[in-house]
Amino acid sequence: MTSFDAARRIILDKVAPAGVERVQLLDAVGRIIAADFAAPCDMPRWDNSAMDGYAVRSADCTPGATLTVTDYIPAGVSSDEAVRSGCAARIMTGAPIPSGADAVVPFEETEEGAGTVKLLHQVRMRDHIRFRGEDVATGETVVARGTLIAPPQVSLLASFAAVLVPVYRKVRVAILSTGDELVELGTAPEKSEIINSNTLAVAAAVKLCGAEPVIIGIARDNRESHLALLSEGLKADVLITSAGVSAGDRDLVRETLAELGVEEMFWKIGIKPGGPTAFSLKGGVPVFSLPGNPVSTMITFEEFVRPALLKMMGHTKVLRRTVRGYLQDEVRKKPGKLNFLRVRVTIKDGRYLASTSGDQNTGILKTMLRANALALLPADRTEFRAGDEVDLQILDPTLEMEE
């Protein structure tokens, strides 16, 4: 039986970024840039006004001085007229600073007259001027490879006219459920039939990773159906199956994958829930065979598939944040396996407090709705008292300790 840490290490060692494509700037949002972007020019490209006001010579600007207004410079216009001694140029935010001027006085610090302006306060050289290159210098790396493209990156890239951006490719993830008992959403289940919710839950999890889910259907409990659909799934970048991976008479996934030349890296992990999980490879295509119980499917996706998909799309931080926190309930478990306890975490007095989110039976789905974290209970312990300190894997990224 493979340990949790070893299983995740094997997976992350075997997957690599899926490739690079160039996309329109807005299509790059939420994706990882695949190359350093260096500034092709200074930003700002010229000295410009940081305020609406008057461009002046600071040496002329004693409090109470009155200057003659000789020019008007709106944004998007440059002036060839120099600011002479005793004069000022009316200027708008972003407009280039005219020659001769070395400061800008905001409108609210002046009194305007007929063709004149009176200064109310002391003016210092360089006041309210944004100087060429003070934000970004030519050749400076402004967005480093491996960065997630978000609004600040879009703003900078757009400022440098980056129409197309190289990003790591979204991976296509084929999703297959197995079992004669399954029917698709929209079909009224007969007695003993189950709606195929696993496929949709996995597809939702794939989408939240930024990948593209490709639902390929339900493999029925026979060799022909498995061969056809697993063969189709292997055409994607990643294949995920749910159910049919244990040791029952109708668990055909592993033997069919082997028949298709898929190499199994491991089967069975020392965890609960999710022990009968397998990871295989067909060339460069990773295959994740997850248990069929919905809770087990979601937890094994979280622990093994999600980090792999993120790495394949260029992310460098692929694991959830883990903190130390304190159990609020007494918990017992069997020895020998790492247990993932579904918990609801709150923060009080600077401490993470974890209460169980309900019945931990893997058939109880609503405990996943209530959980915002998983408590990692070590394999070698069987009893945990209220107040014991444990590792908490935070599922809700908004859960942060207050400063």
User: What pLDDT tens digit does each residue of the chain (403 aa) get?
Assistant: 899 999 999 999 999 999 999 999 999 999 999 999 999 999 999 999 999 999 999 999 999 999 999 999 999 999 999 999 999 999 999 999 999 999 999 999 999 999 999 999 999 999 999 999 999 999 999 999 999 999 999 999 999 999 999 999 999 999 999 988 888 888 888 888 888 889 999 999 999 999 999 999 999 989 999 999 999 999 999 999 998 787 665 679 999 999 999 999 999 999 999 999 999 999 999 999 999 899 999 999 999 999 999 999 999 999 999 999 999 999 999 999 999 999 999 999 999 999 999 988 887 889 999 999 999 999 999 999 999 999 999 999 888 765 4
pLDDT value of residue 246? 73
pLDDT value of residue 248? 62
pTM > 0.85: yes or no:
yes
Euclidean distance between CA atoms 91 and 70, whole angstroms: 11
| Cβ neighbours for 84, distance < 8 A, ≥ 6 positions apart | 70, 100
Count CA atoms closer than 13 A to 168's CA, side-chain side.
26
Of 53, 77, 80, nearest to 67 (Cα)? 53
pLDDT value of residue 130? 97
Position of tokens 């200074």? 42
Give the DSSP H/E element, type plus range, for residue 366: helix 366-370
| Cβ neighbours for 55, distance < 8 A, ≥ 6 positions apart | 49, 73, 83, 88, 89, 91, 97, 98, 101, 103, 104
What residue ranges define each of the domains in the chain, with the CATH number in brackets? Answer: 4-16+170-312 (3.40.980.10), 25-43+134-168 (3.90.105.10), 48-130 (2.170.190.11), 322-394 (2.40.340.10)
What is the DSSP code (8-state) at residue 285? Answer: E
pLDDT value of residue 40? 97
First vs last C-alpha separation in the chain: 42
| Cβ neighbours for 113, distance < 8 A, ≥ 6 positions apart | 66
pLDDT value of residue 195? 87
